[in-house]
Amino acid sequence: MTEETPGFEEKSDVPSGATADDAAETVETSEEDSTAPAGDATDVALLAQLDQARTALTERTGDLQRLQAEYQNYRRRVERDRVTVKEIAVASLLSELLPVLDDVGRARDHGELVGGFKSVAESLETVVAKMGLQQFGKEGEPFDPTIHEALMHSYAPDVTETTCVAILQPGYRIGERTIRPARVAVAEPQPGAQGKAEESEDPGKSDKSEKDSE
């Protein structure tokens, strides 16, 4: 004989009269409720990983930009050095040809640049001009110590400043680089000529000085 405890009844989560399918759905719902907090934790972890990925991407982007800037600076330095080396090489080559060009110039001045020699000389001058060689130095231009080398000096009453009165040897340059200064003869104003010129321009001043002396 089994004794039953009065007032105690075991209750089930499944309502009475429910079918087996209803019982299975109830169990699945309970499982979903129990896994909901775990899903929230997964989302938080994913967001943290996303933030880390964004931070890493920002750092890598900054590294790439710095690397690109350094590369551009490197290219500019290489290009500048390449141009400089080329200019030095060309200047060195043309410097060796200057005596030949001087001989050509003297032959032209004496009327000896004729025949085949004339053709060769003109071809040489064309080639060096294509390489950027420029001749400078003219009579009558003001003396500039940065591009002129004075080999002779004199005084002249018809000049008002130090002037190149003869070009003894032309100068040559490549761009802004002077390969050889022009060697010239210069003339300076005659001592006292400036004062006389001022007196001649203002005769009234001279008359006044004479009256004052009287």
pLDDT tens for 17-42 read 555 555 555 545 555 555 445 667 88
4 Ramachandran zone, left/alpha/beta (phi>0; psi -120 to 50): beta
What average pLDDT does the chain have?
Answer: 80
Q: 108 vs 200, which has greater pLDDT?
A: 108
Q: 164 vs 191, which has greater pLDDT?
A: 164
- List, in sequence order, every residue forming a beta bridge with 186; answer none if it has no partner: 153, 164
Residues 6+ apart with CB under 8 A from 63: none
pLDDT at 93 over 50: yes
Residues 6+ apart with CB under 8 A from 18: 26
- Token duo for residue 115: 């025949």
Q: 170 vs 199, which has greater pLDDT?
A: 170
pLDDT of residue 47: 86
Closest CA to 89 of 174, 189, 187, 158: 174
